[in-house]
A = this chain, B = another copy of it.
Amino acid sequence: MKPRLLEIRQGVLSHNDHLAARLRARFAAHGVFVVNLVSSPGAGKTTFLQATLQKLLANGRHAAALVGDLETDNDARRLAASGAPVRQITTGGNCHLEADMIETFIDGWDLDALDYLFIENVGNLVCPSSYDLGEALRVVLLSTTEGEDKPLKYPPMFASSDLTIFTKMDIAEAVEFDQNAALAAVQSVHPGIRVLEVSAKKDIGMDAWLDYLSAQRDAYMAAPAEDRA
């Protein structure tokens, strides 16, 4: 039974990859830079995204967000307070978002009017790593409260991400976060990956993140289409 399951899962994956590639081309054509935020539950994705949206909007940029959860629209309501367009994707029991959900939920949005689209994935350090959503940048958040060895225990997520962000840096000392150990763990799983450190709550490191984001968007939009994958 197992081999058959695996075979069909691979079928679902390549269907997803096909949809994701189509989405990626569509987003690029409309100048939308898409960021897929992944992490454990409770790593601070929503607080981080809320602060990011507020800062972008204050700088005159246009950003929207899709947010995935098994249940509730709590996060969409929190994010909508930023003033950005936000839609909640409720997955039922599904442990990750898939490209077809993204395609469905952007329906009716004027992509030409957007500079950025953020996708807050379901809180899960395993399953979302296998599902391309057509993003330009996958960002994995690791909070200072989670334990420094998480990259070693969940390598596919850290290996498939383009950027790692340590969150909740304001309580790093209180929870005895060993930053060097965490950096070593990240680098051993994904050598050379850039790491930023933030506290969205205390506005630490957020400007560096926004500078990074803007530079990445510029480089992405200037790149030849075949380099975007």
Contacts and interface: CB of A to CB of B under 8 A. Distances in A.
Interface residues of A, number: 41
Interface in A124-158: 124-127, 130, 143, 145-147, 149-150, 152-156
Nearest to A148: B42
| Total copies of this chain within the assembly | 2
A228 B149 CA distance: 37
Contacts of A147: 41-42
Contacts of A15: 1
Interface string A44-71: 0000000000000000000000000111
A36 to B, nearest CB: 17
A99 to B, nearest CB: 13
A81 interface: no
A42 B8 CA distance: 32
Given A1-B11, A15-B1, A153-B69, A41 B125 contact: yes
A1 B12 contact: yes
Contacts of A40: 40-42, 123
A171 interface: yes
Interface of A: 1-2, 4-5, 8-9, 11-12, 15, 40-42, 69-72, 74, 93, 95, 122-127, 130, 143, 145-147, 149-150, 152-156, 168, 171, 174-175
12 contacts: A1-B8, A5-B9, A41-B146, A70-B154, A71-B152, A71-B153, A71-B155, A72-B149, A123-B125, A145-B171, A171-B174, A174-B174
